Amino acid sequence: MNNKKTVAIVLAAGTGKRMNSSTAKQYLLLGGKPILYYSIKAFEESSVDEIILVTGKSEIDFCKNSIVDYYNFKKVQYIIEGGKERYHSVFNGLKKIDFADYVLIHDGVRPFISVEIIEDTIKNMAIHKACVVGVPSKDTIKSVNQDGIVIETPDRDKIWSVQTPQAFSYDIIKRAYCMIMEKLAYNKEQEEYKDLPVTRPDENLNNTDITSLNITDDAMVVEYMMKCPIKMIMGSYRNIKITTPEDLIIGEALLEKPCEIL
């Protein structure tokens, strides 16, 4: 039995640009319920102790009234404003944690995450300081240059498609984010970040050109700032991220025939 305090940060501050919708994708209906509902529900039913929901400033009241209160989610302790980029939103979530042993970070638009995968991830945290969920790539991947010319074909047997949740020891992920936010000088732009305690190995910062990175997940932050080994946890091909109209169609099919798709 896990006796470690585990907090989940669920990210729901995205927009509907790629969905071509005026409604943010996490609030679009899937099977008659908001996409975000399913993500929160999985963590609500897991052994996670607390949930921090990060959303847009204008959507905080909607999340509270129409999702958290309406569906009686008891583990959601905070509903907070996100930031300009994903990593800003994660950092805002981390700042709300007073204490935790493990932190799980999940995309709110991955509604098909299962309790079983969440529990497997938490179980592996007893051995590893960082774990990410993913699946082996089904496709051959090509690396191309800025002109679209293929420059490399990685060995497919070594390529995994990364999903969420991504789990970390609290001290590891908080330290990594403090380091990267200082490197990006974000704490100089907003007063609320100014007094964050940052203890960092200078050699990591000096050898990393953060400004050239396109930070797309939390594992990247830990990889570059902490040089910490990260364990890959087998996820599910059903654990799709709904970002386009086509994804929404697949999502509806998964709800209707969950045992026959993918």
pLDDT score, position 202: 41
All residues at 6 or more sequence positions from 171 whose CB lies less than 8 Å from its CB, including other chains: none
What does the alpha-carbon distance between residue 214 and residue 68 come to, in Å, rounded to a whole number?
A: 32
Q: How far is CA 114 from CA 119, 133, 155, 240, in A?
A: 9, 11, 29, 11
Q: What is the mean pLDDT of residues 41-45?
A: 99
Give per-residue pLDDT as tens, 92-117.
Answer: 999 999 999 999 999 999 999 999 99
pLDDT score, position 224: 87
Pair of tokens at residue 52? 């921090």
Q: Which residue has the tokens 């490399």?
A: 152
> Given a cut of 90, is residue 121 above it in pLDDT?
yes
Pair of tokens at residue 193? 């970040």
Q: How far is CA 190 from CA 75, 178, 218, 242, in A?
A: 30, 14, 22, 32
Closest CA to 12 of 51, 47, 50: 51
Give per-residue pLDDT as tens, 56-70.
Answer: 999 999 999 999 999
Q: What is the mean pLDDT of residues 139-161?
A: 96
Closest CA to 62 of 34, 88, 38: 34
* E-assigned strand segments in 43-100: 50-55, 76-81
Q: What is the mean pLDDT of the chain?
A: 89
Q: Which residue has the tokens 């007073």?
A: 98
Give per-residue pLDDT as tens, 175-227.
Answer: 999 998 888 764 454 545 454 444 444 444 445 555 566 788 999 999 988 88
Domains along the sequence of the chain with CATH: 6-256 (3.90.550.10)
pLDDT score, position 261: 53
